[in-house]
């Protein structure tokens, strides 16, 4: 299931979904490490949940996302907490 359905992002006029594998619902097959996969400054918003921890070089993907966003664009990202033990708050 794609993030569009999981997180119920239905208020956009158009969605593009990028995945390294071709499957149902994927509109763009490619690798987020490749900056040429998406036109620079062409996206208003990027939603990337639970993806960066799977990337070989996540800093490259973040740099690419920044280049794909229009001026004033936004990126919403979620990554798991890699540090299991930490100070307060205890959760």
- 70 within a domain of the structure (yes/no): yes
Q: Taking residues 22-49, what's their average pLDDT? A: 94
The pLDDT of residue 14 = 81
Each residue's pLDDT tens digit, 47-87: 998 899 889 999 999 999 999 999 999 999 998 876 666 66
Residue 88 lies in a domain: no
Tell me if 55 is assigned to some domain.
yes
Q: Give the distance from CA 4 to its chain's centroid.
A: 12
How much is the pTM?
0.77
Whether 83 maps to a domain, the answer reads no
67 lies in a domain? yes
Q: CA of 54: how far to CAs of 1, 60, 61, 90, 91, in Å?
A: 17, 13, 11, 26, 24
Would residue 22 count as lying in a domain? yes
Domain that holds residue 47: 3-78
Q: Which helix (H) or strand (E) holds 3?
A: helix 3-6
Residue-wise pLDDT for 6-22, tens only, equals 655 666 678 889 999 99
């Amino acid at each position: 299931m794609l993030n569009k359905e999981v997180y119920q992002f239905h208020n956009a006029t158009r969605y593009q979904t990028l995945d390294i594998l071709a499957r149902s619902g994927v509109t763009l097959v490619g690798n987020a490490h490749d900056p040429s996969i998406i036109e620079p400054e062409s996206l208003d918003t990027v939603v990337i949940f639970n993806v960066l921890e799977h990337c070989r070089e996540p800093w490259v993907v973040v740099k690419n996302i920044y280049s794909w966003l229009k001026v004033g664009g936004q990126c919403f990202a979620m990554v798991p907490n890699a540090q299991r033990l930490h100070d307060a708050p205890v959760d």
